[in-house]
Amino acid sequence: MRAASGALISALNSGATFLVANCYTLTLRGGAIYRWTSCDMSLTVNGNLFTCASDNGTQPLISRGNIRHTRGTEVQTCDITLSGGQSARISGVSVPLFAHNGGFDGAQILVEWVPMGPAGWGDTSLGSVVIFQGNVAGVSPTTSTVVLTVKGLNELLNRPMPRTVIQAACANAFGDVNCGKSLAGLTAASSISSGASATGFTASGLAQATGYFNLGTLTMTSGACSGATRAISGFTSGGIITLVTPLPATPSNGDTFTITPGCDKQFTTCGTKYANSTAYRGCPWVPAPETTR
């Protein structure tokens, strides 16, 4: 069952012929939202503005592959193609480079079918129908295009059983609903002050204690590495950051980034560092295997 406005249902029942457009809402992992349309003009749908490539020189052309609709719990898959070469940009870098940096990892895409109303092309008074929503599962960039393989949200039902394994470490993912900690509230913004390299650098304005950001994540927000996210292997007071894997390019002094601390899922860390022991879902007093005979 797909929701539609009363006006659209009436128009469909009338047997009228429609001109239609597709509108796409892209939500990146960090929360940034882009609303684009494949139409040759910008459209306002349900109060949201969807821009077209002809109105925005840095916006990629967007198109989609076929969407298969079936009854049951089959996981839908849809390919979304972004075209525009080096002129189309996200976060200040070309779309292919943004994809190479991992900027689309963890992104979500919603596709809406928009029929034109009685006033003709551009009339969105009939509303829209959501025909697909899913998470980016694969990214294939070339020099001129990026193909995003998107899988339907029901893929989230593919979970191992049992849901919670009895273990000493916490079963929560840091920052999820069960954990309850707000990662946005823990995230800090900074910039590279010196020693810029692909594997680490010194940041400005980070006064946290040594080890505070260990196991956390760093996301570049400007420069050649914009959109790239890397895990942090070490943090030393004074702002010295070491990354687990190198960035896709060497950043420059002055490039900005956001940084979020991590969690080793131990009970003492949960209570001492984050004051969140009431949400701990591990069993720290489970005896070691060799003592349970």
Asked if residue 122 belongs to a domain, the reply is yes
Question: Residue 53: what residue type?
Answer: A
The reply to whether 120 and 253 lie within a common domain is: no
Measured CA to CA in angstroms, residue 97 lies from 146, 161, 191, 256 at distances of 10, 38, 21, 17
Q: How far apart are CA 55 and CA 132, in angstroms?
A: 25
Phi-psi region of 275 (alpha: psi -120 to 50; beta: other; left: phi over 0): left
DSSP labels for 44-71?
EETTEEEB-GGG-TTSPEEEE------S
The reply to whether 126 and 200 lie within a common domain is: no
Asked if residue 163 belongs to a domain, the reply is no
Query: What is the DSSP-derived secondary structure letter of residue 157?
Result: G
Asked if residue 176 belongs to a domain, the reply is no
Question: Residue 113: what residue type?
Answer: W
Handedness of CA 169, 174, 176, 180 (dihedral sign): positive
Asked if residue 231 belongs to a domain, the reply is yes
* Displacement of CA 72 from its chain's centroid (Å): 27
Asked if residue 15 belongs to a domain, the reply is yes
What CATH number does the domain containing 246 carry? Answer: 2.40.10
- What tens digit of pLDDT does each residue of 49-108 get? 999 987 567 899 999 999 887 777 778 899 999 998 778 889 888 999 999 999 999 999
**Count of domains forming the chain:** 2
Asked if residue 178 belongs to a domain, the reply is no
The reply to whether 82 and 221 lie within a common domain is: no
- Predicted TM-score (pTM) of the model is 0.74
The reply to whether 27 and 111 lie within a common domain is: yes
Q: Which of 97, 105, 112, 12 is nearest to 62 (CA)?
A: 112
Asked if residue 109 belongs to a domain, the reply is yes
Backbone angles phi, psi at 135, to 5 degrees: -105, 145
The reply to whether 30 and 107 lie within a common domain is: yes
The reply to whether 10 and 153 lie within a common domain is: yes
Query: Do you know the residue count of the chain?
Result: 293
Residues 6+ apart with CB under 8 A from 219: 30, 227, 228, 229, 257, 258, 259
Based on the number of CB atoms within 10 Å of its own CB, is 207 exposed (0-12), middle (13-18) or buried (19 or more)?
A: exposed
Q: How far apart are CA 5 and CA 127, in angstroms?
A: 6
Which structural domain range is residue 36 located in? 6-157
Among the candidates 106, 139, 157, a domain finishes at 157
Asked if residue 285 belongs to a domain, the reply is no
* Residue listed under structure tokens 């996981």: 75
pLDDT by position in tens, the chain (length 293): 677 788 878 888 887 788 899 999 999 988 899 999 998 899 999 999 999 987 567 899 999 999 887 777 778 899 999 998 778 889 888 999 999 999 999 999 999 999 988 888 888 888 899 999 999 999 999 988 999 999 988 888 777 767 777 888 898 999 999 999 999 999 999 999 999 999 999 999 999 999 999 999 999 999 999 999 999 999 999 999 999 999 999 999 999 999 999 999 999 999 999 999 999 999 888 877 666 55
* Residue listed under structure tokens 């599962």: 137
The reply to whether 59 and 148 lie within a common domain is: yes
The reply to whether 225 and 268 lie within a common domain is: yes
